[in-house]
Each structure stands twice: as structure tokens, then as C-alpha cells.
Amino acid sequence: MFHDILFLLLGLLLLVAGANYVTDGAVAVAKRFRVSNLIIGLTVVALGSTLPDIVVCVESAFQDKPAMAIGEVIGSNTFDLLLVVGVMGLVRPLKVSEVMRHQDLPILLIASVALWVAGDTVLFDNVSHNVINRSAGIMLLIVFIFYMWFMILSSRKEKLSQAPETSGATGSQLQGGGTQGAGSGIVTSHSVNANRKALKMELSELRRQPWFSWIMIACGLAALVVGGNWVVDGAGGLALKVGMSQGMVALTVVAIGNALPDLVTSLTAALKGASGIALGNIVGSCIINALLSVGLSSLVIPLKADSIGFVDFITLVGASALIWIVPLLSKNKSIGRVFGCVLILFYVGYMVFTVIRG
């Protein structure tokens, strides 16, 4: 059992590190080919944040462990929407923007419902077990393509409408940059800080080399492949030794492990007063996870998930609906401390049910 836990933990670390390297390298390559920051943010960065989930899902499908693929997605999204958002609201009331209320959160609910309809075949198709077949996976991928297309179009419109404001802000930023430059001249008079600055400049120069970006991508992909294998092998071995189902391990250990960086990042953002940005990243990651991860995995093999049932799907759909409806109806258009506590209690209750169910 020790080896299974070790492989699981090391695999999760490799997944996080690999996703960061791939994202940084891909962003550098995209900028070199003069791809706009808008496209980079909506594609490379957004997909990079969900790479660990995608790799685990696809690797589970290749190793014929379909319940782990679906369980990881549902578990990770439920963790993000209930516990992470709940903690953010508990730390500091979270203002939900108009764009988030009328665009992103409804799309999140649509993605969660689409995953529920595709996966809960016992309820909707009256069959003996739940399975996401290839045709349902293709439909999820089509919805994902439309989502990306819609986001690019809407972001372009927003960028054009804010163009005058952006140009004005640039001038003030340039003036501020001059002040910072004067301050840095004083700081660099100290030898320690000067050496540190020189090291940063050397690293920055190294990162600008074309070959370095490709090395980062290659190393990141290798870490993702190895990490994905270790996570699936470790989780599968742990499930057999403890007597848990693969779906339960995916819903709990694997999903929480993959989503822990989101909790740390979001908590830090909330403490710094930038929780709105973290909420946007969480919502976007959950949408991509539900549509792309499951869609790709189902193309490898039909995803049978007897251990994933109605309660798991409806919990995810309910969490998506709550996070949209409550800010929409509240006077402050926010997620406050009371609602944050409610979300956390919902997650604790769901985890207790999952453990008891086995």
C-alpha cells in the first residue's frame, strides 16, 4: 500500500509540474509566432490549468479504468465548486461580475447538465449501468468547440470596447514604470540584490531562447505522461488493497489531489482581494474538464461507470446551479460568508455519503 500511495503522490506532483512547464513553454512559443494574448489566454492557459485532469482521464481510459475517468472529473469539479468557492466566500465576500452571472455561470450549468445527461444512462436511457459512449463523447466535444468559439468572439468584442481605456492605462503604467525603475536603481546598490537581479536577468534571457521553450514543453509532456501513469496505477492499486471502488478513489483521493492547487491559489487570491479572477479560472476549468476531458476519454473507450450514480451527477449539477442562482438573486450580487459555509457543508455531506457508500 505504501508504494501505491507514494506513486499517487509523486504522480500528482509530476502532473502539476508538467502542466506548468507545458503552459509556460506553449505561451512563449505562441508569443514568438505573434499569437495574440487573447487567444493565448483562452486556449493555452485555460487548457493548461486542466491538463492534469485531462491526462488522468485519458490515461484511465487507455488502462481500461473508465470509472476513474468519470469519477476524477466529477470529483474535481465538485471539489472546486463547493469547497474551493465556499472557502473563498468564507474568507472574503466574493463579488460576482455581470459577465460571470450572465455568461460564464450559465455555460457552466449547461456543461454540467450535458455531462449528467451523457453519463446517467440508467436514468435517461433506462439501461442497467451508466456509460458514456463515443457518440455522447463527440457531442460533449462539439459543445466544447462551440464554447471556445463563443468565448473568443465575446472576448474580442470586450477588447474592442475597452480599447480607449486600455490605451489610457498604458500611459499611466509607463509613468509608473519610470518610478519603479528609479527605485530599482537604489536597490541595486546593495550587492546581494544586485546579484539576485543579475541572476533573474540571465534566467529571463535563457527563457527567451527558442530552444528553451521547446525543452520546457518536452519536459512538461514527459512529466504529464509519467505522472498520469503513476496516478492511475497508484490509485488503482490503492483501491484494490483498501477495498474501495475505482470510482470512489477517483471521486476522493485523485480528484482532491488534482484540485488542491486550485484551493491554494484561490485562497491566496481571496486573501489578496483578487478572488474574482480565481473564480473565473475555476469556472473555466470546470467547463473544460466536463466537456473536453470526458469527451476525449470516451473516444478511447466507452466509459462504463457503475460506481458513479445519480447522486454524484446531481451534486455537480446542483453546485453549478447554486453558484449561478444565489449571486443572481442576492442584493449584493456576491457569494457571502453564509453561503460559503453552506457550500462547504454540502461538500462535507457529499464526502460522508461517498465514503459510506464505498
Query: Cα angle vertex 18, ends 12, 23, to 5°?
Result: 130
What is the pTM for the complete model shown? Answer: 0.75
Taking a C-beta distance cutoff of 8 angstroms, is the pair 284, 101 a contact? no
Please give the chain's pLDDT, 358 residues, in tens: 667 777 777 877 776 777 677 667 766 766 776 666 555 655 566 676 677 788 888 888 888 888 888 888 999 899 999 998 999 888 888 888 888 888 889 999 999 999 999 999 999 988 888 899 999 999 999 999 998 888 877 766 666 665 554 444 444 443 444 444 444 444 443 444 444 555 555 556 655 666 677 777 777 777 766 776 677 677 667 666 666 677 777 787 778 777 777 777 677 667 767 666 678 778 888 999 999 999 999 998 888 877 788 999 999 999 999 999 999 888 888 898 899 999 999 999 999 998 888 6
E strands, the chain, are 94-95, 131-132, 303-304, 334-335
Output 203-209 pairs: Cβ under 8 A, ≥24 positions apart.
Answer: 207/28, 208/28
Cβ 75 vs Cβ 256: under 8 Å: yes
CA separation (Å) from 155 to 71, 99, 144, 163, 288? 32, 11, 16, 12, 17
Where do the H-state alpha helices sit in 162-274?
163-187, 191-207, 210-242, 246-249, 255-271
Long-range pairs for 94-97: beta carbons < 8 A, 24 or more residues apart: 94/270, 94/275, 94/276, 94/279, 94/334, 94/335, 94/336, 94/340, 95/276, 95/332, 95/333, 95/334, 96/276, 96/279, 96/327, 96/333, 96/334, 96/335, 97/276
Contacts of residue 207, defined as CB under 8 A and 6 or more positions apart, other chains included, come to: 28, 213
Q: Record the cell numbers describing residue 188, joined without a space.
A: 541595486
CB distance 308 to 71 below 8 Å: yes
Angle, alpha carbons 350-244-319 (nearest 5°): 20
Taking the CA atoms of residue 29, residue 32, residue 34 and residue 37 in that order, the dihedral angle to the nearest 10 degrees is 60
| Residue pair 241/4 in contact by the 8 Å Cβ criterion | yes
